[in-house]
Structure 1
Amino acid sequence: MTNATVKNDFNQDLLQFIAASPTPFHAAAEMAQRLTAAGFQRLYEADHWQLEVGGRYFVTRNDSSIVAFVHASEPFSESGIRMVGAHTDSPCLKIKPQADVKSAGYHQVGVEVYGGALLNTWFDRDLSIAGRVTYKDASSEPLSCLVDFKAPVAVVPSLAIHLDREANRNRSINPQQDILPVLMLADASEDAPDFARLLAAELSNQQESGAASLAAGDILDFELCLYDTQAPALIGLKREFIASARLDNLLSCYVGLQALLASDGKQHRLLVCNDHEEVGSASACGAKGPMLDQFLQRMIPDVSERMRTLDRSIMISADNAHGIHPNFTAKHDAQHGPRLNAGPVIKVNANQRYATNSETSGMFRLLCQEAGVPVQSFVSRTDMECGSTIGPITSAEVGVRTIDIGVPTFAMHSIRELAGSDDAFALKQVLELFYRRPLRLGQSV
């Protein structure tokens, strides 16, 4: 099998992974399914854990964050842990609890903007609905399940240019008024639409949800978002690009997972994919919360051994980087404009918006050299504010040396983003080497 065939198979599976993951809940479930198929044992936080050498484990929290771990043979405090981090969430439109809106003879649904969404890209797209629903069962106990309408059931229509002559010159979007999706025509005899009834009917139709024969009154609450139904695709005259929703940051989740599954050796290996990065990570399952630290405490109960282990550990925080846009080159520092399909990007910021330092950067450059993968760097223009990632947060919360990297991307936070078809596979090769290669850290002359 040629390398081109292996890369194409990798990219096709990446597209399938993203298509199966319209929400963080679905992403965590998809990862859990793949880990289980690969022989990983699921742990539950309420249970007592008996971790064994050679064991492969994973645990989820809030159904939307996941930690997977390979317990290798080396003593923790001698080899440390090779960690890769990413996040499962993406900017989107989330449905409000009192969802029903009726206007001008149409049923609509109230939405709230999650994260820093590029709102203009949400107009005129074929949208569906997915997420988690909590309902009461026949015994009046609360249960939760996932739901995915899959079919296009909503749209946010643009206002015609004839009614907004300034649209191409000076358009602003009011998130309260302008982005309410249309679901259907309203029956004149109805006082109000009933989103709960529609949701109950959809759940009842989805046999895998286990929520058969639900009524609207059985729905207790939900966390639902809208998503674009257009399938991910390889595009371009030479199929050089990946076009998809949620590349930020499901691409990194997938690459980290594939590297973990493909790796072997004596090194302890961990993958953590947190929810809520796009809104600051401050939650029980976010990077600013205790999930990873509590996992490490249960894995290595002795405080001294855990501190020694962390001193020999390193985390690669993988989150997409801004590729230099050919139409907006002035938005980049002239010396730090990463190109698509030119390799993964090391992200640097003097004010610790990224956790990269010379030690971790040097380590990653060495890995890229050994893997035969080109590497790039990104630094924001000094006169522009820099974004951030789970990297600095995890480094501060856990105390592990960290580097921020990612594949270069166009249109970050758009409903449909663009990455290079070579870069995800290249990053997987580097992360797989990282997981298995012994590293001497903290060595100074």
Structure 2
Amino acid sequence: MNQASFNHSLLSFLDDSPTPFHAVSTMKCELLAAGYEELVEQQEWVISEGGKYFVTRNDSSVIAFTTPTLDFAHQGFRMIGAHTDSPCLKLKPNAHVERFGYHQLGVEVYGGVLLHTWLDRDLSIAGRVTFKAEDGSLKSRLVDFKDPIALVPNLAIHLSRGVNTDGFKVNPQEEILPILCGAEHTLDLEKLLIEQIQSEYDDISVSSILSFELSLYDVQKAAITGLHGDYISAARLDNLLSCYVGIQALLNTDASRPTLLICTDHEEVGSQSSCGANGPFLEDVLRRLSPVPEQYTQAIQQSMLISADNAHALHPNYATKHDQLHAPLINQGAVIKVNNNQRYATNSETAAVYKDIANELGLPAQTFVVRSDMGCGSTIGPITSGEIGVATLDIGLPTFAMHSIRELAGSVDAFNLYKILVAFAKRDQLISA
């Protein structure tokens, strides 16, 4: 695989994954095509040496792993972690709003959204719908309208004269409701969803919609951009970019040690859920692989996790927002994230392992430390490390406009991180005693 083909497939993955449900579905298809066996949590597992497996939870989180050996106590795991969710606008349960001559949607802000970037964009709707089928059974299916069917128009400057000088604030209850159509049209949201399900699934007849988890998303396609093609411009780079890099590393390594990829939901809202990093999903899987407590602890202490989440690149228009000695540049390498208050889980040993791999491959690495007078974000790294006790490194690809409806990262960085993660999966030696 070369950089061009890697990035081309990345763009397709981003476009095919408008929600965490769709991201996991896309990854599931890749895993099945690569010969991975799907495990079901409600069933007994039979794990064989030389096997390749994956399991999903809530349709929005996935763990995939290889077992070249079953001696987990002495071999441990090489783990790669990322998250499937991104800040967005989600439909409220009673979403249909009719007012002032328009049909609109009531939405709830999910995560730390840059709200103003959602204005004047062509939006569609995707997610999971649960319904009663004509045969009486309850089912869930993913839907994606794909077409631009909604928009949130800006207020004209003539009606907001101070917007460019006094600042711009968006009230999420009153000012971010998308418009679907004029009130001269009839709108039945349940009927609309039934028609969409039946258009995507020929073998299903729907009796009634019972519930849904639907998100708005920008229909503009991901693209390679910049004068020399230096950048990837897309929605949901945080953190589908890391999910893609992680799964490609897993699929393209022949490591002799067990390798595990975990992509969990709900990181943007704290990870506190049954399928989030602060839930039991990873530990449940690891304890089923190593059910003897003594051997489980040995396995964890033989393991290392690389938690991959996007990092803040130095923005040339806002350079003072960075500590100048820890200000990453796009396409100058993945970023080791350090925070002595444990907002990142990196320590000197895990950072050294990563730097050693990068040096052996002749690839660059950068370091990010937030300004001492600013608050620091966090990742699944310290959560996972705190939950199961695994040595962890927090890294990320330098990015502009994080949590915007459209973000910007480097077209070189992702491929270089992929090569480092492949080498990490094959790494036998961590830190010697």
TM class by shorter chain equals: over 0.9
**Could you tell me how far apart the structure 2 residues matched to 1:297 and 1:72 are?**
18
Q: Does 1:343 align with 2:339?
A: no
Q: Post-superposition shift, 1:78?
A: 1.8
Q: Check the 8 A contact 1:74/1:267 in 2, yes or no.
A: no
- Tell me the TM-score normalised to structure 2 length: 0.98
Q: Does 1:125 align with 2:121?
A: yes
**Could you tell me how far apart the structure 1 residues matched to 2:15 and 2:168 are?**
31
Q: Does 1:68 align with 2:64?
A: yes
Q: Does 1:199 align with 2:193?
A: yes
**Could you tell me how far apart the structure 2 residues matched to 1:393 and 1:251 are?**
20
Q: Which residue of 1 aligns with 2:278?
A: 288
**Could you tell me how far apart the structure 1 residues matched to 2:71 and 2:129 are?**
43
Q: Which amino acid aligns with 2:271?
A: S
**Could you tell me how far apart the structure 1 residues matched to 2:341 and 2:378 are?**
10
Alignment of 1:14-413 (within 5 A): 14-73=10-69, 75-169=71-165, 170-187=167-184, 193-207=187-201, 210-212=203-205, 214=206, 218-413=208-403
> What are the Cα deviations for residues 45-68 of structure 1, in whole angstroms up to 9, with x where unaligned?
011001000000000000000000
Q: Residue 403 of structure 1: SS of its match in structure 2?
A: strand
Q: Which runs of 4+ in 1 moved over 6 A?
A: none
**Could you tell me how far apart the structure 2 residues matched to 1:106 and 1:221 are?**
24
Q: Which amino acid aligns with 1:236?
A: G
| Structure 2 unaligned spans of 5+ | none
> What are the Cα deviations for residues 134-160 of structure 1, in whole angstroms up to 9, with x where unaligned?
000122221000000000000000000
> What are the Cα deviations for residues 61-87 of structure 1, in whole angstroms up to 9, with x where unaligned?
000000000001262122210000000
Closer/same/farther in 2, CA of residues 202 and 74 from structure 1, 3 Å limit: closer
Q: Residue 53 of structure 2: SS of its match in structure 1?
A: strand
Greater mean deviation of Cα atoms: 432-441 or 287-296: 432-441
Q: Residue 248 of structure 2: SS of its match in structure 1?
A: helix
Q: Which amino acid aligns with 1:137?
A: A
Q: Check the 8 A contact 2:72/2:258 in 1, yes or no.
A: yes
Q: 1:428 aligns with which of 403, 406, 418?
A: 418
Q: Post-superposition shift, 1:171?
A: 1.6
* RMSD value, Cα: 1.1
Q: Residue 168 of structure 1: SS of its match in structure 2?
A: helix
**Could you tell me how far apart the structure 2 residues matched to 1:416 and 1:340 are?**
16
| Structure 1 unaligned spans of 5+ | none
Q: Check the 8 A contact 2:50/2:66 in 1, yes or no.
A: yes
Q: Post-superposition shift, 1:408?
A: 0.2
Identity %: 55
Q: Check the 8 A contact 2:48/2:70 in 1, yes or no.
A: no
**Could you tell me how far apart the structure 1 residues matched to 2:22 and 2:408 are?**
22
> What are the Cα deviations for residues 325-374 of structure 1, in whole angstroms up to 9, with x where unaligned?
00000000010110000000000001000000001000110011112210
Q: Post-superposition shift, 1:38?
A: 0.1
Greater mean deviation of Cα atoms: 139-148 or 240-249: 139-148
